Amino acid sequence: MIYTKNAIDAFERRYRANFINSLGGFKSLVLIGTKNSDGSENLATFSSLFHLGADPALCGFILRPATTFSSTLDNIIEQQYYTINHVSPAFVKQAHQCSAKYPKGVSEFEQVGLSPEYLENIPAPFVRESTLKFACKFVQQTAIELNGTTLVIGQITTVLVPETFVKEDGYIDIEEAGTVTSSGLDSYHTTNRIERLPYAKP
Protein backbone atom coordinates (compact mmCIF):
# COMPACT_ATOMS: atom_id res chain seq x y z
CA MET A 1 0.00 0.00 0.00
CA ILE A 2 1.30 3.46 -0.91
CA TYR A 3 0.25 6.35 1.31
CA THR A 4 0.79 9.67 -0.45
CA LYS A 5 1.31 13.02 1.24
CA ASN A 6 -2.29 13.95 0.49
CA ALA A 7 -3.57 10.76 2.11
CA ILE A 8 -1.42 11.37 5.19
CA ASP A 9 -2.54 15.00 5.43
CA ALA A 10 -6.17 13.80 5.35
CA PHE A 11 -5.71 11.37 8.27
CA GLU A 12 -7.62 12.18 11.46
CA ARG A 13 -5.24 13.88 13.92
CA ARG A 14 -4.80 11.01 16.39
CA TYR A 15 -4.61 8.41 13.58
CA ARG A 16 -1.83 10.42 11.95
CA ALA A 17 0.05 10.72 15.25
CA ASN A 18 -0.01 6.94 15.68
CA PHE A 19 0.96 6.33 12.05
CA ILE A 20 3.82 8.82 11.84
CA ASN A 21 5.20 7.92 15.27
CA SER A 22 5.48 4.30 14.10
CA LEU A 23 7.65 5.14 11.11
CA GLY A 24 10.74 6.01 13.13
CA GLY A 25 11.25 2.37 14.07
CA PHE A 26 12.01 1.10 17.55
CA LYS A 27 12.93 3.82 19.98
CA SER A 28 14.95 4.34 23.07
CA LEU A 29 12.61 4.56 26.06
CA VAL A 30 13.96 6.53 29.01
CA LEU A 31 12.82 8.49 32.02
CA ILE A 32 14.46 11.88 32.47
CA GLY A 33 14.78 12.98 36.07
CA THR A 34 15.19 16.61 37.15
CA LYS A 35 14.51 18.80 40.15
CA ASN A 36 14.20 22.52 40.72
CA SER A 37 15.85 24.75 43.34
CA ASP A 38 12.95 24.12 45.75
CA GLY A 39 13.77 20.41 45.62
CA SER A 40 10.59 19.61 43.68
CA GLU A 41 11.27 16.55 41.51
CA ASN A 42 10.13 15.80 37.98
CA LEU A 43 10.25 12.58 35.96
CA ALA A 44 9.25 12.49 32.30
CA THR A 45 9.03 9.80 29.60
CA PHE A 46 11.03 10.34 26.42
CA SER A 47 11.50 8.26 23.31
CA SER A 48 13.65 10.61 21.25
CA LEU A 49 17.04 10.08 22.93
CA PHE A 50 19.88 9.65 20.46
CA HIS A 51 23.64 9.20 20.49
CA LEU A 52 25.56 12.26 19.34
CA GLY A 53 29.19 11.39 19.98
CA ALA A 54 31.48 9.28 22.16
CA ASP A 55 34.38 11.71 22.65
CA PRO A 56 33.18 13.92 24.20
CA ALA A 57 30.30 11.70 25.29
CA LEU A 58 27.18 13.52 24.13
CA CYS A 59 23.53 12.67 23.70
CA GLY A 60 20.49 14.61 22.55
CA PHE A 61 16.75 14.47 22.92
CA ILE A 62 13.78 16.40 21.56
CA LEU A 63 11.37 18.38 23.70
CA ARG A 64 7.89 18.97 22.33
CA PRO A 65 6.63 22.53 22.01
CA ALA A 66 6.71 24.21 25.44
CA THR A 67 3.91 23.54 27.95
CA THR A 68 3.96 19.79 28.59
CA PHE A 69 7.58 19.27 29.40
CA SER A 70 8.43 22.76 30.52
CA SER A 71 9.32 21.54 34.03
CA THR A 72 11.97 19.30 32.52
CA LEU A 73 13.61 22.08 30.53
CA ASP A 74 13.22 24.70 33.29
CA ASN A 75 14.82 22.36 35.79
CA ILE A 76 17.65 21.41 33.44
CA ILE A 77 18.52 25.02 32.81
CA GLU A 78 18.27 25.88 36.49
CA GLN A 79 20.32 22.98 37.84
CA GLN A 80 22.40 22.23 34.73
CA TYR A 81 21.97 18.50 35.33
CA TYR A 82 19.52 15.73 34.49
CA THR A 83 19.47 11.97 34.72
CA ILE A 84 18.56 9.46 32.01
CA ASN A 85 17.17 6.15 33.22
CA HIS A 86 16.53 3.01 31.17
CA VAL A 87 13.19 1.28 31.73
CA SER A 88 12.75 -2.40 32.70
CA PRO A 89 9.64 -4.55 32.12
CA ALA A 90 8.94 -4.47 35.88
CA PHE A 91 8.08 -0.76 35.79
CA VAL A 92 7.02 -0.14 32.20
CA LYS A 93 3.48 0.81 33.34
CA GLN A 94 4.86 3.41 35.75
CA ALA A 95 7.18 4.73 33.03
CA HIS A 96 4.24 5.12 30.64
CA GLN A 97 2.22 6.87 33.35
CA CYS A 98 5.01 9.48 33.64
CA SER A 99 3.87 10.73 30.22
CA ALA A 100 0.63 12.05 31.77
CA LYS A 101 0.35 15.81 32.09
CA TYR A 102 0.64 16.32 35.82
CA PRO A 103 0.49 19.91 37.09
CA LYS A 104 3.80 21.65 37.77
CA GLY A 105 5.06 20.91 41.26
CA VAL A 106 3.53 17.43 41.36
CA SER A 107 6.20 14.70 41.60
CA GLU A 108 5.76 11.92 39.08
CA PHE A 109 7.92 9.75 41.38
CA GLU A 110 5.19 9.92 44.02
CA GLN A 111 2.29 9.71 41.58
CA VAL A 112 3.49 6.57 39.79
CA GLY A 113 5.39 4.91 42.64
CA LEU A 114 9.04 5.09 41.60
CA SER A 115 11.89 6.01 43.97
CA PRO A 116 14.24 8.96 43.55
CA GLU A 117 17.87 8.44 44.54
CA TYR A 118 20.81 10.81 44.50
CA LEU A 119 24.55 10.80 43.98
CA GLU A 120 26.74 13.43 45.58
CA ASN A 121 27.21 16.55 43.43
CA ILE A 122 24.48 15.63 40.96
CA PRO A 123 21.42 17.82 41.56
CA ALA A 124 18.97 15.55 39.74
CA PRO A 125 17.17 12.39 40.88
CA PHE A 126 17.95 8.97 39.43
CA VAL A 127 15.28 6.27 39.33
CA ARG A 128 16.30 3.64 41.90
CA GLU A 129 14.39 0.90 40.04
CA SER A 130 16.39 1.52 36.84
CA THR A 131 19.25 -0.91 36.12
CA LEU A 132 21.19 1.34 33.72
CA LYS A 133 21.20 5.10 34.23
CA PHE A 134 23.46 8.07 33.78
CA ALA A 135 23.78 11.75 34.56
CA CYS A 136 24.10 14.47 31.93
CA LYS A 137 25.43 17.98 32.28
CA PHE A 138 23.46 20.42 30.17
CA VAL A 139 25.47 21.68 27.19
CA GLN A 140 23.10 23.50 24.87
CA GLN A 141 19.57 23.83 23.57
CA THR A 142 18.74 24.46 19.95
CA ALA A 143 15.32 25.67 18.87
CA ILE A 144 13.91 23.85 15.85
CA GLU A 145 11.78 26.69 14.56
CA LEU A 146 10.12 24.50 11.99
CA ASN A 147 7.70 23.07 14.54
CA GLY A 148 8.56 24.62 17.90
CA THR A 149 10.48 21.64 19.27
CA THR A 150 13.79 21.95 21.10
CA LEU A 151 16.90 19.83 20.79
CA VAL A 152 18.61 19.47 24.18
CA ILE A 153 22.22 18.28 24.22
CA GLY A 154 24.01 17.01 27.30
CA GLN A 155 27.40 15.60 28.19
CA ILE A 156 27.37 12.21 29.89
CA THR A 157 29.24 12.62 33.19
CA THR A 158 28.46 9.62 35.39
CA VAL A 159 27.19 6.16 34.46
CA LEU A 160 25.64 3.66 36.86
CA VAL A 161 25.46 0.09 35.59
CA PRO A 162 26.18 -3.33 37.16
CA GLU A 163 29.61 -4.42 35.93
CA THR A 164 28.29 -7.78 34.77
CA PHE A 165 26.52 -6.11 31.84
CA VAL A 166 29.68 -4.37 30.60
CA LYS A 167 31.43 -6.68 28.15
CA GLU A 168 35.13 -7.02 27.39
CA ASP A 169 35.06 -4.47 24.57
CA GLY A 170 33.02 -1.86 26.41
CA TYR A 171 29.66 -2.84 24.89
CA ILE A 172 26.93 -2.77 27.52
CA ASP A 173 24.51 -5.64 27.02
CA ILE A 174 21.30 -3.65 27.44
CA GLU A 175 19.22 -6.66 26.46
CA GLU A 176 20.69 -8.65 29.36
CA ALA A 177 20.15 -5.56 31.56
CA GLY A 178 16.45 -5.74 30.65
CA THR A 179 16.18 -2.42 28.82
CA VAL A 180 12.80 -1.96 27.13
CA THR A 181 12.24 -0.41 23.70
CA SER A 182 9.10 1.35 22.47
CA SER A 183 7.29 1.86 19.18
CA GLY A 184 4.59 4.28 18.16
CA LEU A 185 3.18 6.24 21.07
CA ASP A 186 2.29 3.45 23.46
CA SER A 187 3.80 0.07 22.58
CA TYR A 188 6.56 -1.50 24.69
CA HIS A 189 8.84 -4.38 23.78
CA THR A 190 11.62 -6.58 25.10
CA THR A 191 14.26 -7.81 22.65
CA ASN A 192 16.01 -10.96 21.39
CA ARG A 193 19.51 -10.62 20.04
CA ILE A 194 19.99 -11.75 16.46
CA GLU A 195 23.75 -11.26 16.65
CA ARG A 196 26.62 -8.87 17.06
CA LEU A 197 28.53 -8.34 13.82
CA PRO A 198 32.20 -7.50 13.30
CA TYR A 199 33.23 -4.00 12.18
CA ALA A 200 32.25 -3.70 8.51
CA LYS A 201 34.98 -3.21 5.91
CA PRO A 202 34.54 -2.79 2.15
Ranges within 53-82 binding a second copy (CB under 8 A):
53-60, 62
Q: Is 157 in the site for a second copy (CB under 8 A)?
A: yes
Stretch that binds a second copy, among 35-43, 68-76, 139-147 (CB under 8 A): 139-147
Q: Is 36 in the site for a second copy (CB under 8 A)?
A: no
- Judge contact between 123 and 82, C-beta under 8 A: no
Q: Is 14 in the site for a second copy (CB under 8 A)?
A: yes
CB nearer to a second copy: pick between 78 and 151: 151
Q: Is 195 in the site for a second copy (CB under 8 A)?
A: yes
Q: Cα(184)–Cα(79) distance, rounded to whole angstroms?
A: 31
Shortest CB 74 distance to a second copy, Å = 19
Which residues have a Cβ under 8 Å from the Cβ of 3 and sit 6 or more positions away?
19
Among 69, 82, 91, 134, binds a second copy (CB under 8 A): 134
Q: Is 38 in the site for a second copy (CB under 8 A)?
A: no
Q: Is 100 in the site for a second copy (CB under 8 A)?
A: yes
Q: Is 118 in the site for a second copy (CB under 8 A)?
A: no
Beta bridge partners of 51: 59
* CA-to-CA separations, 200 to 134, 155, 196, 197, in angstroms, rounded: 29, 28, 11, 8
Q: Is 96 in the site for a second copy (CB under 8 A)?
A: yes
Q: Cα(11)–Cα(16) distance, rounded to whole angstroms?
A: 5
CB nearer to a second copy: pick between 37 and 66: 66
Shortest CB 9 distance to a second copy, Å = 8
| Helix or strand (DSSP H, E) at 16 | helix 13-23
Q: Cα(186)–Cα(92) distance, rounded to whole angstroms?
A: 11
| Helix or strand (DSSP H, E) at 135 | strand 133-144
Cis peptide upstream of residue 56 (ω within 30 degrees of 0): yes
Among 17, 66, 104, 113, binds a second copy (CB under 8 A): 17
Of the candidates 102, 125, 116, 158, the residue with the CA atom closest to the CA atom of residue 35 = 125
Shortest CB 107 distance to a second copy, Å = 12
Among 34, 47, 75, 83, binds a second copy (CB under 8 A): 47
Shortest CB 35 distance to a second copy, Å = 19
